[in-house]
């Protein structure tokens, strides 16, 4: 079989090799499961039992509808019964189980998908509409084979697989905290899409913006994912496999070089101290932050509490999670970002049309101000948890002082209610804001008088400043972290905060990149928050450069006219000051 190489946008570094699993947008998710020859009769029997059980369910529904004078509609289920009794479909499933030695639920899902595609292409409108019947029957059978809760759950994957998908939503990636997912690649997306962010957090290689990977890759194809160069290799040749095995070993040796600095401070050669924090997507990642010597949590993204569920998280549920994270961090700062929903992150349990979650409109703090009951529940949980550790909060997507005052007014109401109930919380809790839109950066002097600290979310700041959708591969080349407009807004924010004696951190993806982190330090940023796995290499960079040199690079960058020129300058500086990191990043 001929080797095929696809080129996309590097999203998370590393190399992985293994079998492909195509994650499509069907209602159900079933992964291949190998079986032994002696298990074939068992799988066939399971399949037949599921068909019988599904048939009984449909007959009961039909009977109930007939009894409730809905006889005409009850006849619709005759079509479902015909699908269950289709001998061609049943025989194909049985034949493939015998031939391919894979679990019946996977084989059945593949056959159903095949039927759906065939019927979708039929010109006759009546027959084409039978696709709905086929899908519904397929879901019912699969539910009886694997259980309803597992039909949508990526955590149900039990084999080491590489996920290939057209796209992955934040709710998809929130389900990927699973050691059996060793890499993923998508047709669309940019380098700061949530798919890329989650990949870095999970520590797995990832590629986005491949355009047609889902068309070129087949389930169970052997793949190599090179997250450094954005290469997806399908059915690699023997020499390619051997080359990448050597590369993986060499990368492991390189990572081992950071161990000698793990307990040392992130301090430049001329004494400038930089705090290095970790970004947290899910509670379970707090341990990774500790293992990688984070000095605290600079960004705890709490919206994942609200995804992949049919109800709203309770106050106690959130309180318990925040308290556990504080316990793991053992006295270190934990910065909780209040609910940031909107754009590509929406709540399944709220019946709100998806188009209302626009990138440029109703999201983050605007959503919270419009839904104060949801906001107050989270604030109560955060305040209660603040009694058990060093916790601070920040509001996302603040556009100016008015937003901050409205949010603080609600926070004050919650504080007052807890006092009335004699529930303890940290009365000195720091309240900061995210600087993510140009209007916030341009009013930073006003905001700095009222906010305890700033955290610059460079991912959104770049997106909103340059009018570039950061999850769209069509505009991937226009997404420029080094754009002069972006650098000037960062500098404006830092200067305004420092004039009021306030600290500024950066928690966007710029902090993960050594050459861009070097630039941020030169612009005066006090703290960097990033994927836990990036902390030691950024510390290596900081301990190798002088603050004076980073300032010189930043000042020169502020005089340049294009993002490309800035990136080139920063790369050149990294190569000069920290050649090991430059070579590792660009080879």
Examine residue 255 and state whether it is found in any structural domain, yes or no: no
Three-point CA angle 25, 28, 29, nearest 5° = 85
Mean of the per-residue pLDDT values of the chain: 85
Look at residues 147, 170, 185 and tell me which one is the last residue of a structural domain.
147
Q: What is the pLDDT of residue 137?
A: 81
Residue 72 has pLDDT above 80, yes or no: no
Helix, strand and coil percent figures for the chain, each rounded to 5: 55, 15, 30
| Bridge-based pairing state of the strands 222-226 and 527-530 | unpaired
Q: Are 508 and 461 contacting, i.e. CB atoms less than 8 angstroms apart?
A: yes
Examine residue 391 and state whether it is found in any structural domain, yes or no: yes
Residue 139 has pLDDT above 80, yes or no: no
Q: Are 10 and 228 contacting, i.e. CB atoms less than 8 angstroms apart?
A: yes
Examine residue 252 and state whether it is found in any structural domain, yes or no: no
Residues 503-533 have pLDDT tens digits of 999 998 899 999 999 999 999 999 999 988 8
Our count of domains for the chain comes to: 3
Examine residue 254 and state whether it is found in any structural domain, yes or no: no
Look at residues 147, 169, 203 and tell me which one is the last residue of a structural domain.
147
Alpha helices in 68-165 (DSSP H): 71-74, 77-84, 87-100, 104-120, 125-128, 130-146
Closest alpha carbon to 266 in 534, 65, 496: 534
* pLDDT confidence bin for 172, thresholds 50/70/90: low
Q: What is the pLDDT of residue 352?
A: 45
47: its two tokens: 């399949």
203: its two tokens: 């520590």
Does 278 lie in the same domain as 409?
yes
Does 427 lie in the same domain as 400?
yes
* pLDDT confidence bin for 350, thresholds 50/70/90: very low
Examine residue 291 and state whether it is found in any structural domain, yes or no: yes
Does 186 lie in the same domain as 129?
no
Q: Rounded to an integer, what distance in angstroms lies between the CA atom of residue 478 and that of residue 222?
A: 33
Catalytic positions, written as ranges = 194, 507
Examine residue 261 and state whether it is found in any structural domain, yes or no: no
Does 507 lie in the same domain as 359?
yes
Residues 7-41 have pLDDT tens digits of 998 888 889 999 998 876 554 567 788 999 999 99
* pLDDT confidence bin for 152, thresholds 50/70/90: very low
Residue 246: CB atoms within 10 A of its CB come to 9
Does 485 lie in the same domain as 546?
yes
Q: Give the residue numbers spanning the domain of 507.
A: 266-586
DSSP string, 471-503: T-GGGGGG--TT-HHHHHHHHHHHHHHHHTT--
- SS3 letters across 517-557: HHHHHHCCCCEEEECHHHHHHHHHHHHHCCHHHHHHHHHHH
Q: What is the pLDDT of residue 70?
A: 42
Which H or E element spans position 208? strand 206-208
Contacts of 425 (CB under 8 A, 6+ apart): 383, 384, 386, 387, 415, 418
Helix (H, G, I), strand (E, B) or coil at 339: coil
Closest alpha carbon to 448 in 382, 492, 393: 492
Rg (the chain; Cα; Å) = 26
Contacts of 151 (CB under 8 A, 6+ apart): 27, 28, 29, 30, 139, 142, 143
Residues 83-123 have pLDDT tens digits of 788 888 899 999 999 999 999 999 998 898 888 778 777 76
Q: What is the pLDDT of residue 336?
A: 97
Residues 465-505 have pLDDT tens digits of 998 876 665 666 788 999 999 999 999 999 999 999 999 99
Please return the burial class of 260, using the count of CB atoms within 10 Å of its CB with bins 0-12, 13-18 and 19+.
exposed
pTM: 0.71
| Bridge-based pairing state of the strands 275-280 and 231-234 | unpaired
Helix axes 104-120, 130-146, angle to 10 degrees: 170
Helix (H, G, I), strand (E, B) or coil at 251: helix
Q: Are 378 and 398 contacting, i.e. CB atoms less than 8 angstroms apart?
A: no
Does 104 lie in the same domain as 174?
no
Please return the burial class of 132, using the count of CB atoms within 10 Å of its CB with bins 0-12, 13-18 and 19+.
middle
User: What phi and psi, each to the nearest 5 degrees, are found at residue 468?
Assistant: -125, 125
Q: Number of C-alpha atoms within 13 angstroms, CB side, residue 265? A: 10
Does 535 lie in the same domain as 434?
yes
Examine residue 251 and state whether it is found in any structural domain, yes or no: no
Closest alpha carbon to 277 in 528, 41, 580: 528
Look at residues 147, 177, 205 and tell me which one is the last residue of a structural domain.
147
Does 371 lie in the same domain as 418?
yes
Does 362 lie in the same domain as 494?
yes
Does 305 lie in the same domain as 163?
no
The CATH code of the domain that includes 57 is 1.10.274.10
Examine residue 559 and state whether it is found in any structural domain, yes or no: yes
Residues 354-413 have pLDDT tens digits of 443 444 567 889 989 988 999 999 999 999 999 999 999 999 999 999 999 999 999 999
């Amino acid at each position: 079989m001929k080797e095929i190489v696809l080129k996309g946008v590097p999203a998370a570094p590393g190399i992985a090799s293994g079998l492909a699993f195509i994650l499509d947008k069907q209602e159900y998710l079933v992964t291949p499961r190998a079986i032994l020859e002696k298990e074939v009769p068992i799988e066939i029997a399971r399949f037949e039992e599921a068909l019988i059980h599904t048939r009984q369910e449909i007959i009961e529904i039909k009977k109930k509808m007939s009894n409730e004078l809905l006889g005409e509609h009850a006849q619709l289920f005759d079509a479902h019964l015909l699908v269950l009794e289709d001998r061609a479909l049943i025989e194909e499933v049985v034949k493939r189980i015998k031939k391919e030695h894979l679990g019946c639920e996977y084989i059945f899902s593949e056959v159903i998908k095949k039927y759906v595609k065939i019927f979708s292409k039929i010109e006759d409108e009546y027959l084409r509409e039978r696709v709905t019947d086929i899908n519904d029957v397929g879901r019912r059978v699969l539910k009886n084979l694997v259980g309803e809760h597992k039909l949508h759950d990526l955590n149900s994957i039990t084999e080491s697989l590489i996920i290939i998908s057209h796209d992955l939503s934040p709710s998809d990636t929130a389900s990927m905290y699973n050691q059996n997912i060793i890499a993923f690649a998508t047709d669309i997306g940019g380098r700061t899409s949530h798919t890329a962010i989650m990949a870095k957090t999970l520590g797995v290689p990832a590629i986005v913006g491949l355009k047609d990977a889902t068309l070129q890759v087949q389930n169970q194809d052997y793949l190599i994912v090179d997250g450094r160069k954005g290469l997806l290799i399908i059915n690699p040749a023997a020499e390619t496999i051997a080359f990448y095995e050597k590369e993986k070993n060499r990368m492991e040796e390189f990572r081992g070089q950071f161990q000698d600095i793990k307990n040392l401070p992130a301090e430049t050669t001329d004494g400038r101290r930089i705090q290095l924090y970790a970004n947290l997507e899910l509670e379970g990642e707090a341990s990774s932050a500790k293992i990688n010597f984070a000095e605290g949590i600079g960004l705890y993204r709490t919206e994942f509490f609200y995804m992949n569920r049919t109800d709203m998280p309770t106050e106690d549920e959130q309180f318990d999670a925040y308290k556990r994270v504080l316990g793991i961090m053992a006295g270190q700062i934990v910065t909780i970002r209040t609910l940031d929903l909107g754009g590509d992150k929406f709540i399944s349990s709220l019946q709100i049309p998806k188009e209302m979650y626009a990138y440029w409109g109703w999201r983050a703090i605007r959503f919270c101000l419009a839904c104060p009951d949801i906001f107050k529940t989270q604030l109560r949980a955060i305040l209660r948890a603040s009694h058990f550790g060093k916790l601070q909060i920040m509001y996302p997507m603040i556009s100016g002082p008015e937003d901050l005052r409205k949010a603080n007014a609600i926070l004050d109401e919650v504080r007052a209610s807890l006092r009335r109930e004699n529930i303890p919380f940290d009365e000195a809790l720091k309240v900061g804001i995210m600087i993510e839109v140009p209007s916030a950066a341009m009013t930073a002097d006003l905001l700095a008088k009222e906010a305890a600290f700033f955290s610059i979310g460079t991912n959104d700041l770049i997106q909103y400043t340059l009018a570039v959708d950061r999850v769209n591969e069509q505009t991937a080349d226009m997404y420029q972290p080094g754009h002069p407009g972006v650098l000037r807004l960062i500098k404006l924010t830092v200067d305004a905060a420092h004039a009021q004696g306030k600290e500024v951190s950066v928690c966007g993806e710029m902090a993960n990149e050594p050459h861009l982190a070097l630039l941020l330090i030169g612009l005066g940023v006090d703290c960097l928050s990033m994927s836990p796995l990036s902390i030691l290499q950024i510390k290596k960079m900081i301990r190798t450069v002088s603050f004076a040199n980073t300032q010189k690079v930043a000042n020169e960058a502020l005089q340049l006219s294009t993002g490309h020129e800035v990136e080139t300058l920063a790369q050149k500086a990294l190569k000069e000051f920290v050649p090991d990191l430059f070579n590792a990043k660009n080879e």
